[in-house]
Amino acid sequence: MERCAKEAVPVIERRLGNVTQTAPLIVEASKSYFAISPFALNKFKELIKVKKAELTRSWKEKFDNILNSFVIEAHPYAELKFMFEIEGAYCWEIRYTDAPEREPISVGILLSPYIFTISGYSTILDEMKRVVSSQLNLVFLIKETLPTVTECFKYVSQRNIIFLLDEKGEKFYLIEKSVKLSE
């Protein structure tokens, strides 16, 4: 539904998604296409944004506390920048050095409900890469499937550590490392 709502004309091929519940004048489906009624389109978009924000709300507070406490403990060797918030996805950048004469390393941190498109062919991961030029990315996903993660990170050349939240919503588990990580 979200992908359909992001299209300029809210119609997509049925193979890109499957609608299991339909109601007249909201979602119409045929053998090969489904569409969202223009009358319901804005409501769908708002509902999707609210649901994404709900998925990350409590985790965002925890991340803020952890990142801020790290920067306070590591002062003056670390700095934290809040980069963006898009539909419930949050991105930070930490710059850290252990000695004044050394170049700082940059770590990008993304907390997202799942991997979603922002516009056309751009995803939330693309936005992170565009805004943060880091040596290492930590990506935390609340609700995502392994096939989607595998597909999205198949050709990524950056160093990424990807964490997926468990079904109970209590812990993040490491699910993939891309490109060998050095010390």
Q: What is the pLDDT of residue 25?
A: 43
> What is the CA angle 146-149-152, rounded to 5?
150
- On whether residue 49 sits in a domain, the answer given is no
| pLDDT tens digit at each of 183 positions of the chain | 566 566 555 555 544 455 555 555 455 555 566 666 666 777 877 888 899 999 999 999 999 999 999 999 998 899 999 999 999 999 999 999 988 888 999 999 999 999 988 877 889 999 999 999 888 899 999 999 888 888 888 877 778 899 999 888 888 988 766 655 454
Q: How far apart are CA 87 and CA 65, in angstroms?
A: 21
> What is the CA angle 112-118-123, rounded to 5?
65
Q: How far apart are CA 84 and CA 91, in angstroms?
A: 5
Quick one: DSSP state of residue 71? H
Tokens 């918030």 correspond to 85
Q: What is the pLDDT of residue 75?
A: 87
Instruction: Determine the structural domain holding residue 119 and report its residue range.
Output: 55-178
129: amino acid identity, one letter = K
- On whether residue 46 sits in a domain, the answer given is no
Q: What is the pLDDT of residue 158?
A: 75
Tokens 């996903």 correspond to 141
pTM of the model: 0.78
Q: What is the pLDDT of residue 110?
A: 97
CA torsion sign for 167, 82, 54, 178 is negative
- On whether residue 11 sits in a domain, the answer given is no
- On whether residue 8 sits in a domain, the answer given is no
- On whether residue 168 sits in a domain, the answer given is yes
Domain count of the fold of the chain? 1
- On whether residue 1 sits in a domain, the answer given is no
Q: How far apart are CA 63 and CA 68, in angstroms?
A: 8
- On whether residue 45 sits in a domain, the answer given is no
The two structure tokens encoding residue 174:
């490491």
- On whether residue 13 sits in a domain, the answer given is no
